[in-house]
Amino acid sequence: MKNIKKQDEPGFVAVFNDTNPYDGVSHRQHWDKFRSESEYQAEVVDRLLVDQHYLCAYCEIDIYRRDGVGGIQDIGVEHFHPKSSFANNIPWVTKWSNLFAVCLGGSNGAVHEPEVRYGAPDLTCDKKKENKILDGLILFPLDIPLAPCLFTVSRTTGQLGVNEAACAESGVAVDLVDRTIVELNLNSGRLKKARVDTLKIISDALIAQVKVGKSAGEARQIVAQARLSPEDGRYFRFFTAARAYLGM
Q: pLDDT tens digit string along 108-150?
A: 988 888 888 899 999 999 999 999 999 999 999 999 999 999 9
Query: Of the candidates 27, 126, 32, which has an alpha carbon nearest to the alpha carbon of residue 86?
Result: 27
Q: What is the pLDDT of residue 67?
A: 57
For the segment 160-171, the average pLDDT, to the nearest whole number, is 98
Question: What percent of the chain is predicted at pLDDT more than 70?
Answer: 97
Strands (E), the chain: 76-79, 99-102, 151-153, 160-162
> pLDDT tens digit string along 52-96?
999 999 999 998 765 555 557 788 999 999 999 888 888 999 999
Q: Running DSSP on this structure, what letter comes out for residue 70?
A: -
Mean pLDDT across 200-223? 97
d(CA 50, CA 100): 11
How far apart (Å, rounded) are the C-alpha atoms in residues 2 and 58? 8
- pTM listed for this prediction: 0.95
Q: Please report, as a single letter, which amino acid is at residue 179.
A: R
Pairing mode, strands 160-162 and 99-102:
unpaired
Percent of the chain, pLDDT > 90? 84
Dihedral, CA of residue 225, residue 229, residue 232 and residue 235, to nearest 10: 130
